[in-house]
A and B are shown apart, each in its own frame.
With several copies, the nearest count.
Chain A
């Protein structure tokens, strides 16, 4: 049950170890890490803008919604902002539960909501120029599937 918005990198292993440290009631731990792809070498710059006053609020709301849908023993969202290089970690989510179905579903739900509901915007500079990344229609479709749950 934690949310962090930061410019600094994070250590995935440390975060996942902390999430389950001292606990013996977790059966399944799922993590997702988003990374900057170099797009076959075309990417020369990458910047993540966000809306500071809203970001943490939105992520806390997304996490709280996941908590109401699945019996989670722990969850975590970390999202970075600012300039990032190819290969760097952009963000992570983790969900821990007694059983794997809940942990997987919660992690996917966190990702789907975060993609379309947390105020982050990616700007990529490639050999073809700088451009704001377009939202993918598939992201809205991914989000819609949770409405029928």
Chain B
């Protein structure tokens, strides 16, 4: 499947991209993160500590165990600091 990935704040800065489309067979968010980490050191750096990374699947907050079947957009970002 094709997924639109989005990166925000320091995740974006470490990866060096605001987002990208990827072709993947990852079953869960955790599988997707493993695939990305294996690509290049900048991904490995961005995803080094997943306790510090939040994930949204199709604009809803999810976690590493979330299945990706049917998903279109996955976003990675640090804990939110609005308000």
Contact = CB atoms under 8 A, between A and B. Distances in A.
Q: Is there a direct interface between A and B, measured as CB atoms under 8 Å apart in the complex?
A: yes
Interface of A: 34, 48-51, 53-54, 57-58, 79, 90-91, 100, 111, 114-123, 132-135
A3 to B, nearest CB: 13
A99 to B, nearest CB: 11
A121 B78 contact: yes
11 contacts: A48-B82, A54-B59, A57-B59, A118-B83, A119-B8, A119-B56, A120-B80, A121-B81, A132-B9, A134-B81, A135-B79
Contacts, number: 71
Which of B6, B78, B79, B80 neighbours the largest number of chain A CB atoms within 10 Å of its CB? B80
A57 B60 CA distance: 9
A117 B9 contact: no
A51 B56 contact: yes
B24 to A, nearest CB: 20
B8 A51 contact: yes
Interface of B: 6, 8-10, 56, 59-61, 73, 75, 77-83
A79 B6 CA distance: 21
A119 B73 CA distance: 15
